[in-house]
Amino acid sequence: MKEKVKQKRVSIFSIDEASLGVGGVDGIAVETADGGEEDVEVKDFREEEGEESERVGIEGSAVCLTCDVRQFHDYREQREHFGTDWHRHNLRRKTRKRPPLAEAHFEKLADTLSISGSEDEDEEDREEEEFQRLEAIRRMPKLEYSLASGEYLSAWKAALPDNGSLSSLKNMKLTCVFLAGGGHFAGAVFGPKGKVLKHQTYHRYTSRKKQGGEQDFNEKASRAKSAGAQIRRYNMQLLRQEIRAVLKDWTNEIHSADLVFLHAPGKGTRETFLGYPDSPLKDVELRRIPFTTRRATLDEVKRVMSELTSVYLSSQSVVEVVPVPRKVLDLKVVFPKTTTWSHCSRPPLK
């Protein structure tokens, strides 16, 4: 059973600036020795071999950064190296923040590792569980910090800059939030401390009741000719023009914003924002909203902004209670050998 941690929601704007002196390590923030802010690079827990190969390919030679092999004769030898026990062992050491073993040292340990048998398998299982736990932590939508008071604070990763600074979140000058879907649109520009500077909402009849899907996005299947379909098609085009007009009017605010959030589910809805050459959103880094949103209204945009700029205080670390993900089992689906035809109007052809 998953253990729950009681958390208290607090607005980032109500927290004292001096309390935000924290740094981040591997996605889990810790307090620095002097209580000030420390810039620590947040790295992934594991590097994919393909990404590593591409990076070293740019440098002009095939290498392995995990095992500290500076040069291979060719890329074929490099690929063969990626499948060796030596490389896999160093990958496991890397997840535990340990330095790589030299090949000669690994060969000396090979006999010991094979003799240990079940003990080595148990150790590998523990390493695998730890790796899965670290992966679960890395994929968490929030970043956790420890405060001088002994409490823990977590904030949405999507609302934080790349360095994970809470001070930057507190001191944002401009933030844009756009929501769209089901014929509804809502957008707003927020100033310091989350104050609404501009806002606009639209609603058009673009989808049939209880049917889902907007009329303009279902044209590939069949072009309906009913009066209702024509009205929905026209309203969809009109809504698209209205949204793009808002984006054009807010171009300066969008380009000057610290963060721009966009929730536009569906390919057609995203094309409304990005599917034309003059879209101002093409020149900025768009961030997704990391939680479920409701119908696009002004109140919902305000709620989204309030949630993004909120932090959660707790007396216990959320990371400490992250469960180890269950391994996915390979389930085989067994189909019956015979088929019954009792539901058919006539027997099958022989």
Rounded CA separation 323/210 (Å): 39
Residues 6+ apart with CB under 8 A from 166: 12, 15, 20, 22, 145, 153, 155, 160, 311
Rounded CA separation 46/161 (Å): 22
Using only C-alpha atoms, what is the Rg of the chain? Answer: 27
Do the beta carbons of residue 260 and residue 286 sit within 8 Å? Answer: yes
Active site residue 215: yes
End-to-end CA distance of the chain: 54
Q: Cβ-count burial of 100 within 10 angstroms (0-12 exposed, 13-18 middle, 19+ buried)?
A: buried
Active-site choice (132, 211, 215, 241):
215
**Catalytic site positions:** 215
